[in-house]
Amino acid sequence: MRTLAVATALILTLSASPASAATTPYLPRPTGHSPVGVTSLSLKDTSRPDPWVPAVPYRELIVSVFYPATSADGPKKQYMTPLESKLNLERQNVPDLPLDVFSTVRTNAVVDAKPAGRWHSLPLVVLSPGWTQPRATLTALAEDLASRGYAVAAIDHTYENRATTFPDGHVTGCAACDVDDQPGFWEKFAQVRTKDTSFVLDSLLSSKWGALIDPHRIGMTGHSAGGAITTQAMLADPRIRAGADLDGSIHVPIPASGLSRPFMFVGSMDNYTPGAPGPYDDWETDWTHLTGWKRWLMVSGTVHASFTDLGVLADQLGVDLGDSIDPYRALTITRTYVSAFFDLHLRCRPQPLLSAPSPAYPEVTFIG
């Protein structure tokens, strides 16, 4: 299923090259014109107890806000802490791969850099990661969108991933993993993430960031389960004008009343046969309930992790995910089509790339 953890793909590998494992991994540079800044926000929703650990009388979230900055000078964001890296990798048992390796990943965003942008000038894109995955796995997409003039809010959904580190030093694990086999889990999961998303929007728009963000130009995307719940977040919060699902299985379908705002699916062509039973049956069902602008794109040679940072990082570390596309090419395609989607629907800029197949991207097939 496409909602499995991104790092689960590592289980399929037999080894990591010792030489590659000794290499310092890095995220490719953003493709936009602006330097990128990033800050981490600790947000506490006191209106509800934590849904996964009810003994905690509030819902506490960590959000990374990426944005166009005035300078590229300064310390870069740490990708993960050594403990976060360890807790995300220790289950995979990949030989020769140091458990702290994700703490060494070189990123491009400058911590607490001075923001660039005029009053209410920045469209906002919310990013939601896959089930059990940290927000870090969407950093390359976040940096790229910010370099193109977007504010980006990447959410860590507490107790739904292997490790979330808070400013006071405490680290939460995956309490929700203990109940993910129970009836109604995915419905609850969708409700939790939907409430998380609306709370983050409320918090950002009522903070100093609200002075930079245009509240009328908000979009959302995510990978795997984080992409799949985007439709539910849009149905619950009309502020989200456009959304995209990056290879996420739909456990909670769009109701028959439909969703009329723009939406895009992006998935793996190698796992899809049009009209035949398969892993994208849920997309075919939801497709009929998307009543506004919509697009369905499939990318040849990709695997589930290709739409996250894990594609390029695995390649650098000598870990075989089973993809046949160059992982840097997969990242370029993801960045290009996601940014084109939001440029069209949040900035009203014509995007011929989304109108028909492009000879520049022969790997991309238009399903609809």
What DSSP designation does 109 have?
A: P
Q: What is the CATH number of the domain that holds 27?
A: 3.40.50.1820
Is 207 contained in some domain?
Answer: yes
Q: What is the pLDDT of residue 7?
A: 42
Q: What range does the domain containing 235 cover? A: 6-366
- pLDDT (tens digit per residue) in 302-358: 999 999 999 999 999 999 999 999 999 999 999 999 999 999 999 999 999 999 999
Is 221 contained in some domain?
Answer: yes
β 36-45/59-68 pair status: antiparallel
Q: Write down the mean pLDDT value for the chain.
A: 93
Q: What total number of domains does the chain contain?
A: 1
Q: What is the pLDDT of residue 95?
A: 83
203-215 per-residue burial string, b: 16 or more CB within 10 A, e: under 16? bbeeeebbebbbe
- pLDDT (tens digit per residue) in 242-264: 999 999 999 999 999 999 999 99
The proportion of the chain whose per-residue pLDDT surpasses 90, expressed as a percent, equals 88
Is 81 contained in some domain?
Answer: yes
Q: Taking the model in full, what pTM does it have?
A: 0.95
User: How far apart (Å, rounded) are the C-alpha atoms in residues 346 and 182?
Assistant: 38
- The values of phi and psi at residue 215, to 5°, are -65, -10
- pLDDT (tens digit per residue) in 41-82: 999 999 999 999 999 999 999 999 999 999 999 999 999 999
Is 1 contained in some domain?
Answer: no
> Does residue 274 or residue 134 have the better pLDDT?
134
DSSP three-state, residue 26: strand
